[in-house]
């Protein structure tokens, strides 16, 4: 009788533990995350902090020794967002130099791009708000693009395959308050901008874009290509003169070079023979010598209402009659170019391209 009682008590205890464990699991599964975005752990890690790119407070973006900062000579316009770029390469490996295309990064490499707005553009190193971090991860089967959205507390960013919209405001260089609903692209939009020959590829880190000085803090300023090579991050760097894309914001560089650099980084990734807009027959890489390929005297192929009733992509000496500038100064989603990545008109970029066209002879 006594043994039977012990058995009954044991069964009750086990059932009780099982129930508590099930309730605990259900509670964990139904607990709201600290951020209400959908996550997809099959695609990537749930949080940016899970990658361990940065030390200390994540919002400081202070990289570990195996994560390296870089910048481009001419940056893509993204509604005036500032960007902090980094890359990580597997230990003991290096990217391979390429004279015309993006460096050939080994499998396991990750490109990290953080988009943020300083509260006051006249104090770019002051307080800021980070909105998103985009990762390009090089896997065996190719590159993968993942968007991470920062929480309002600025403590972490979370994988959000559907993208997001975040309201942001800042004080511009003229002291005026600007505000927009900033769009963070979804995975398909990331893919559409990064397609080359049907495969996702990085856009920025080419030899032309990296051939410029970077401030490596205590190590001082140094040419990025030479720094990468000296530190075992880049192989097969040739000697002699290296290709270079000018900074379109540097007014000391020739006007045509600046305008072509602007069009390459903002439009050339699509408008090239290997890009998603190849059917337009517009080739806007700065290395192209044929003016007709840039659009001079060229009639549009598939612009539709995007042409604004104008006849040619570029009319020499007349920006007002050029489709190129017509689409740049539009914020209508059915007309504007680029189609993604902006809601605002880039006034300075538009003025640059307009001046270039108006001074064409």
User: So what's the pLDDT on residue 27?
Assistant: 30
Element (H, E) at 145: strand 142-150
Q: What count of other Cβ atoms lies within 10 Å of the Cβ of residue 14?
A: 10
Residues 44-73: pLDDT tens digits? 999 999 999 999 999 999 999 999 999 999
Q: Which residue has the higher pLDDT, 186 or 79?
A: 79
For the ranges 200-204, 305-309, 355-359, the one whose mean pLDDT is highest: 355-359
Show Cβ contacts of residue 289 under 8 Å, excluding neighbours closer than 6 positions: none
Lowest mean pLDDT among 8-12, 189-193, 293-297: 8-12
Q: Which residue has the higher pLDDT, 168 or 273?
A: 168
- Residues of the chain with pLDDT > 70, as a percent, come to 88
Whole-structure pTM value: 0.84
Q: By the 8 A CB rule, do 89 and 103 touch?
A: no
Instruction: Give long-range contacts, CB 8 A cutoff, 24+ apart: 161-164.
Output: 161/38, 161/40, 161/43, 161/186, 161/187, 162/37, 162/38, 162/186, 162/187, 163/187, 163/189, 164/37, 164/132
For the ranges 16-25, 30-39, 183-192, 219-228, the one whose mean pLDDT is highest: 219-228
User: So what's the pLDDT on residue 244?
Assistant: 96
| Mean pLDDT computed over every residue of the chain | 87
User: Quick one: tokens of 298?
Assistant: 């060229």
DSSP designation for 106: P
Which residue in 122, 71, 77 sits closest to 352, CA to CA? 77
- Tell me the pLDDT band of 9, cut-offs 50, 70 and 90: very low
Q: By the 8 A CB rule, do 171 and 119 touch?
A: yes
User: So what's the pLDDT on residue 303?
Assistant: 63
Residues 167-216: pLDDT tens digits? 999 999 999 999 999 999 888 877 777 888 888 899 999 999 999 999 99
Q: Which residue has the higher pLDDT, 42 or 270?
A: 270
| Helices within 278-344 (DSSP H only) | 291-294, 323-328
Q: Is 60 exceeded by the pLDDT of residue 143?
A: yes
Q: Is 50 exceeded by the pLDDT of residue 288?
A: yes
User: So what's the pLDDT on residue 340?
Assistant: 80
Show Cβ contacts of residue 288 under 8 Å, excluding neighbours closer than 6 positions: 294
Lowest mean pLDDT among 31-35, 123-127, 181-185: 31-35
Tokens 């049907």 belong to residue = 198
Lowest mean pLDDT among 183-192, 205-214, 318-327, 329-338: 183-192
User: So what's the pLDDT on residue 279?
Assistant: 82
Q: Is 80 exceeded by the pLDDT of residue 148?
A: yes
Q: Is 80 exceeded by the pLDDT of residue 319?
A: yes
- Tell me the pLDDT band of 269, cut-offs 50, 70 and 90: confident
DSSP-assigned states of every residue in 118-129: ESBTTSTTS-EE
Which residue in 215, 216, 210, 264 sits closest to 237, CA to CA? 210
CA atoms within 13 A on the CB side of 38: 9
Show Cβ contacts of residue 201 under 8 Å, excluding neighbours closer than 6 positions: 102, 143, 194, 195
Q: By the 8 A CB rule, do 250 and 77 touch?
A: no
Q: Is 50 exceeded by the pLDDT of residue 16?
A: no
User: So what's the pLDDT on residue 40?
Assistant: 64
Q: Is 50 exceeded by the pLDDT of residue 25?
A: no
User: So what's the pLDDT on residue 304?
Assistant: 72
What φ, ψ does residue 51 adopt, rounded to 5°? -80, -20
Q: What count of other Cβ atoms lies within 10 Å of the Cβ of residue 198?
A: 8
């Amino acid at each position: 009788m006594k043994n039977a009682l012990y058995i009954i008590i044991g069964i009750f205890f086990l059932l009780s533990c099982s129930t508590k464990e099930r309730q605990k699991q259900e509670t964990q599964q139904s607990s709201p995350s600290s951020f209400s975005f959908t996550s997809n752990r099959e695609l990537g890690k749930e949080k940016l902090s899970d990658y361990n790119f940065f030390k200390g407070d994540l919002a400081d973006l202070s990289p570990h020794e195996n994560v390296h900062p870089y910048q481009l000579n001419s940056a893509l316009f993204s509604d005036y967002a500032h960007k902090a770029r980094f890359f990580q390469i597997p230990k003991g490996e290096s990217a391979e130099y390429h004279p015309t295309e993006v460096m050939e990064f080994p499998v396991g490499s990750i490109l990290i791009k953080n988009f943020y707005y300083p509260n006051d553009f006249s104090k770019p190193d002051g307080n800021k708000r980070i909105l998103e971090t985009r990762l390009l991860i090089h896997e065996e089967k190719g590159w993968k693009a993942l968007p991470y959205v920062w929480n309002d507390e600025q403590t972490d960013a979370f994988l959000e395959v559907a993208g997001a919209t975040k309201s942001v405001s800042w004080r511009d260089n003229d002291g005026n308050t600007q505000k927009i609903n900033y769009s963070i692209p979804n995975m398909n939009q990331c893919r559409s901008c990064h397609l080359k020959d049907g495969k996702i590829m990085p856009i920025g880190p080419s030899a032309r874009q990296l051939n410029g000085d970077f401030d490596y803090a205590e190590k001082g300023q140094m040419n990025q290509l030479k720094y990468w090579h000296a530190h075992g991050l880049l192989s097969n760097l040739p000697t002699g003169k290296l290709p270079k894309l000018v900074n379109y914001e540097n007014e000391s560089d020739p006007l045509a070079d600046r305008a072509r650099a602007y069009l390459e980084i903002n439009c050339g990734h699509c408008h090239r023979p290997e890009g998603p807009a190849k059917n337009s027959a517009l080739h806007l890489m700065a290395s192209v010598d044929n003016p007709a390929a840039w659009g001079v005297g060229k009639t549009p192929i598939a612009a539709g209402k995007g042409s604004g009733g104008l006849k040619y992509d570029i009319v020499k000496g007349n920006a007002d009659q050029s489709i190129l500038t017509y689409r740049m100064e539009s914020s209508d989603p059915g007309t504007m170019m680029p189609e993604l990545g902006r809601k605002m008109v880039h006034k300075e970029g538009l003025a640059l391209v307009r001046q270039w066209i108006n001074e064409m002879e």
